[in-house]
Amino acid sequence: MNAQATSFTASEMMIVTAARALAGAHTVFVGVGLPNIACNLARRTVVPDLELIYEAGAYGASPARLPLSIGDPALVSGSIAVMSQADLFSFYLQGGRVEVGFLGGAQIDRYGNLNTTVISDYTTPSVRLPGSGGACEIAIHAQRLLYIMRLSKRAFVERLDFTTSPGYLSGGDARRRLNMPGGGPHRVITDKALFDFETPTREMRLASLYPGVSVEEVLAHIGWPIARAETLQVNEPPTDEELRCIREELDPLGLYRL
């Protein structure tokens, strides 16, 4: 990494870490919000050849502006292919052509299972969340999954209120026993630290910290006693170029930088 900028926000660090996690990937299924900006940053920095796939039906999108939604018209103009969603979900996603899937949600558990449906009970929810969208299929079919979520005890929970999308389920080889084609959760990118699942039980593990963040600060936001890697690295801060891309090109209004 080259010269580091003097200051950056937690969200910027999160976006940059997510973009770097795409290094070496060929295809990514892009989600709404932060994944959207991270994938577009990756194309401008670590993986210029990355093909962006949007569930709206675009393959090889080349948006001239940061798409506000995942159905933005900028995804169509200049893309390689635009197709029906039946084709996209059947042939691209279920067909195994998607390398990286990006997901986020209201709750995640230690095995990377995800809730985007309800808080509390399904029939009388205290909060009704958006639901699956394509997340359930992405979780099952993407060759590897990247999660992007802010650390908090409300989000990193011992038990999900509802399992919308499967991670490693009950851990170990539970995914494989159900013949799920995709590889499952790979990394969890948060605003304070990076997590992996490189354990025999497939439990989430603290892998590295962001600059200036302590282990205690991370543990305070997780609802179970989480494992940690033997040696904790510290992630490189954003470079000037990464910050310039985010601030000037991708998010000039600062919607994603809080």
254 binds other proteins (CB under 8 A): no
CA 85 remoteness from chain centre: 21
Burial of 222 (0-12, 13-18, 19+ CB in 10 A): buried
2 binds other proteins (CB under 8 A): no
Q: What is the DSSP letter of 223?
A: S
How many residues bind other proteins, per CB under 8 A? 56
Of 51, 55, 99, 242, the catalytic one is 55
Residues 145-164 touching other proteins, rule: CB under 8 A, are 162-164
Question: What tokens does 134 get?
Answer: 């394509």
Q: Give every CB contact of residue 107 below 8 A, 6+ residues apart in sequence.
A: 114, 115, 119, 154, 155, 156, 157, 160, 161
Which conformational region is residue 119 in: left (phi greater than 0), alpha (psi within -120 to 50 degrees), or beta?
beta
C-alpha 55/C-alpha 182 separation (Å) is 17
183 binds other proteins (CB under 8 A): no
Interface mask toward other proteins for 92-131; x: CB under 8 A: -xx------------------x---x----xx-xxxxxxx
Q: Give every CB contact of residue 156 below 8 A, 6+ residues apart in sequence.
A: 107, 108, 109, 149, 221, 222, 223, 224
When binding is defined by CB under 8 A, the residue of 43, 110, 141, 186 that contacts other proteins is 141
When binding is defined by CB under 8 A, the residue of 98, 140, 146, 218 that contacts other proteins is 140
Closer to other proteins by Cβ: residue 170 or 233: 170
26 binds other proteins (CB under 8 A): no
51 in active site? no
77 binds other proteins (CB under 8 A): yes
Residues 186-225 touching other proteins, rule: CB under 8 A, are none
55, 86 Cβ separation under 8 angstroms: no
Interface mask toward other proteins for 55-74; x: CB under 8 A: xxxx--------xxxxxxx-
The footprint of other proteins (CB under 8 A) covers: 32-33, 55-58, 67-73, 75-78, 82-86, 89, 93-94, 113, 117, 122-123, 125-137, 140-141, 162-166, 169, 174-175, 178-181
Catalytic residues: 55
